[in-house]
Amino acid sequence: MQTSYIYSASRLNTLATFLLSKTDIERLMVTAPGTELQSALKETYLAPYILNATEDTIPAAIEQTLIEAKQLIHRIAPKGNMFRVLWVQYDIHNLRVFVKAQAKGLSFEQCSAFTSDRGSYDPTVLFESVQKGELNRLTAQWQEVFDEAVRLVVAGELDKVDGVLDQAFFAAVKSITDGESDLFLKKYVRGVIDIYNIKSRLRAVTYPQVTFTPVFITGGTFAQSELDSKEQVFAALEKLDGQGFWRTAIEYYQETGNTTRIDARADEYLLTLAKESSFDMFSSASLVLYYLQCRQSAANVRTIVVGKNSGMKEEDIRANLRMAYVNE
C-alpha cells in the first residue's frame, strides 16, 4: 500500500510550491494597507479565489483553499479516512458552536456562520444528528459528550466545557491511529498531545486566578508530573526541538504574557515533524505536511492582512509569521 503514496506525495509536493512564498510575503509587507493590499493578494496563490478582493471576501477565499486541500487529500490518499486525524478538530469546533446554540435555543441558520466546513462531517449533518440525539451514529461517545457539555453550559460551569470537548477530540484521533499501522500518524498525534498539554499547563500555572479546568491528555512524551511549574513547562518545550527553537517565543511570553509567538512556534514544530518524515516518499507524512503548509500559508495571509490593516508594527507582524513551510 505504501508505494501508492508516491503519486499523492509527488502531486502535493508540486502544489506546495504555489503557496505563499517568501517573495509574496515581502511584497505584501511593503504594500500599503487597505485597497492596495487587497489588490496585491490577487498576485498570490489566492488569485483564483478572489474576484473583487474586499475585507469580507478575503477570509472566505482563505477558507476555501483549506477546504479544497482537505478534499484533495481525502481523494488521492491511499486510505483517505485515516486522515480524519486532521479534520476531527473542526468537527469538535462545530460541536462547541452547537453546544452553545442548543443551550440558547438557536437554529442552525443562526449559528452556521461560526461553523467550519473542514470537518469530517458536513455541519448540517452534524447539526441534524445533534437535533436527533444521534451523534453516536457518527462517532462513538459523542452524544454523551455533547449532552454533558450542554449540561455544563446550562449549569454555568463554563470552565469545564472545553476540557470535556478536548478529551473527545483526543479520544477520536487516538482511536483512528490505534486502528491503523501508520507510524507517522501516531508520531504526529503524539506531537499534538505534547503541544496541547504544554500550552494547557502554561496557562494554568501562569494564571492561577483564572477559573478554568485544564485536562491532561495521556499518550504524549511527558508525564503530568513533568509539567507542574512554569520552569518545567519551558523545559518541556525545549526538549521538543531544542532551546534555540523556542527561545524568542519564551522570552516574549515572559515579557508580555502573550502566547501568540509560542502558538506560532508550536505550529511550526508540528510542521517540522511532518517535514522531517516527508523525505520518505512511502510515508503518509507528505500528505499531512501539505495540509499543514496550506494552513500556515493561510495563517500568514491573515497575520499580514489583519496586522497591516490594524496598524501593527512590522516587527510584530513578522514575529507572528510562520515560515517553516517555505522551502529554502
Q: How far lies 294's CA from each of 20, 98, 144, 195, 325, in Å? A: 9, 27, 34, 20, 8
Query: And the C-alpha cell for 133?
Result: 440525539
- Whether residue 232 lies inside any domain: the answer is no
Per-residue pLDDT, 88? 98
pLDDT for 170-181, tens place per residue?
999 999 999 999
Question: What mean pLDDT value characterizes the chain?
Answer: 92
Per-residue pLDDT, 212? 67
- Whether residue 26 lies inside any domain: the answer is no
Instruction: State the total domains in the chain.
Output: 1
* Average pLDDT rounded to a whole number, residues 242-271: 91
Per-residue pLDDT, 72? 96
pLDDT for 11-51, tens place per residue?
999 999 999 999 999 999 999 998 899 889 999 999 988 87
- Whether residue 122 lies inside any domain: the answer is yes
Q: Is the pLDDT of residue 287 over 60?
A: yes
Could you give phi then psi for residue 182, rounded to 5 degrees?
-75, 110
The pTM assigned to this predicted structure is 0.92
Class of residue 255 by CB neighbours under 10 A (exposed 0-12, middle 13-18, buried 19+)? exposed
Among 50-64, 166-180, 252-266, the minimum mean pLDDT is found in: 50-64
The DSSP-derived string for 2-49 is GGGHHHHHHHHHHHHTTS--HHHHHHHHTSPTTHHHHHHGGGSTTGGG
- Whether residue 153 lies inside any domain: the answer is yes
Per-residue pLDDT, 53? 52
pLDDT for 117-148, tens place per residue?
999 999 999 999 999 999 999 999 999 999 99
Binned at pLDDT 50, 70 and 90, residue 244 comes out as confident
* Average pLDDT rounded to a whole number, residues 60-67: 93
CATH assignment at residue 175: 1.20.1690
Domain span holding position 113: 83-179
Apex CA 195: angle with CA 190 and CA 198, to 5°?
120
- Whether residue 111 lies inside any domain: the answer is yes
The DSSP-derived string for 174-238 is HHHHHT---HHHHHHHHHHHHHHHHHHHHHHHH-TTS-------SSSSS-GGGGSSHHHHHHHHH
Q: Is the pLDDT of residue 3 over 80?
A: no
- Whether residue 140 lies inside any domain: the answer is yes
Select from 96, 29, 4, 33 the least CA-distant residue to 286: 4
Per-residue pLDDT, 30? 95
Per-residue pLDDT, 211? 67
- Whether residue 110 lies inside any domain: the answer is yes
- Whether residue 127 lies inside any domain: the answer is yes
Q: How many whole angstroms separate alpha carbon 210 and alpha carbon 285?
A: 38
pLDDT for 98-107, tens place per residue?
999 999 999 9
Q: Percentage of the chain surpassing pLDDT 90?
A: 79
Instruction: Scan for cell 450542554, then name that residue.
Output: 150
* Average pLDDT rounded to a whole number, residues 266-294: 93
* Average pLDDT rounded to a whole number, residues 150-169: 94
* Average pLDDT rounded to a whole number, residues 260-273: 93
Per the document, the length of the chain is 328
* Average pLDDT rounded to a whole number, residues 160-174: 96
Q: Percentage of the chain surpassing pLDDT 70?
A: 95
Per-residue pLDDT, 86? 97
Per-residue pLDDT, 1? 47
Query: Is residue 127 within 8 Å of residue 109, measured between CB atoms?
Result: no
122 C-beta neighbours (distance < 10 Å), count: 12
Query: Is residue 21 within 8 Å of residue 326, measured between CB atoms?
Result: yes
Q: How many whole angstroms separate alpha carbon 174 and alpha carbon 74?
A: 19
* Average pLDDT rounded to a whole number, residues 290-296: 96
